[in-house]
Amino acid sequence: MYAHHPSARPWRTAALAVAASAIVLATASPALAHAEVSASDSRALAKNVTLTFESEAESESAGFTEIRTVLPESMDGAGDGIRLKDAPKGWKLKPTSDGYSVAGPALEPGENAEHSVVVEQLPDAKSLAFKTVETYEDGEVSRWIELPRDGEPEPENPAPVLKLKPAAPGAAEAAASASASASPSASSASSTPEGGAPSPDDSAPSEAATSDDGSPWPTVAVVAGLCLVALVGGVLVVKRRGRAGTE
């Protein structure tokens, strides 16, 4: 007759509890991002698009007073064309050097900050990352500015990312014609990065090293002649010292 071992029941119960916990963890939905973005039209090159941003409140003792949004590089220059559509009561939009900010009276602690802006046109891209900096009335600052990388886990403080669909047939950039008609001087000035670092176009010889026709050969010839004179002078000095030593 099969013997029943009472001690096996606790182990079986523990095993079932571990398995149930594993199933719960495996099926649990991931935590929501603390800053999110959505669009009324998520196609590349779409025009007059409403972007809605929501920042999840983390502080239980202080409310939001400002949300600053950094526009992606593909939207450079779009900050001046952005207009506020919806925001908390009393909040205003202010353009910044790299995007814009919305700020106003402090919200209630625990209240999420949501605002919407209208952009004239989305760029031709696959995705857009909007780095976000949140400020609370007690001075606390939360930065959601980390960008996701392929093959790596999601960062701890990810920036809101908007994935774009392919552009509609016939869609084109509205600013393409304006950029094509820009003057050469303006184009060369904008190609120099901040801080005076030279761009690839700055590798051309300077005016001091070129002749009137743009050729650097006259300067090279002068340098070569000076080197030859110095070499001959050195030889003469050595010969004189040799003679002086033999006298």
Q: Please check whether residue 33 is in contact with residue 58, taking contact to mean a CB–CB distance below 8 angstroms.
A: no
The residue type at 181: S
- What is the pLDDT averaged over residues 109-120? 97
| Residue 119, SS3 per DSSP | strand
The residue assigned the tokens 């409403």 is 50
- What is the pLDDT averaged over residues 170-196? 47
23 pLDDT above the threshold of 80: no
More confident residue, 144 or 25: 144
**Residues in Cβ contact with 182 at an 8 Å cutoff, skipping those fewer than 6 apart:** none
For the stretch 44-69, pLDDT in tens is: 999 999 999 999 999 999 999 999 99
Instruction: Kindly list the distances between the CA atom of residue 86 and the CA atoms of 83, 182, 189, in Å, as whole numbers in the listed order.
Output: 9, 35, 37
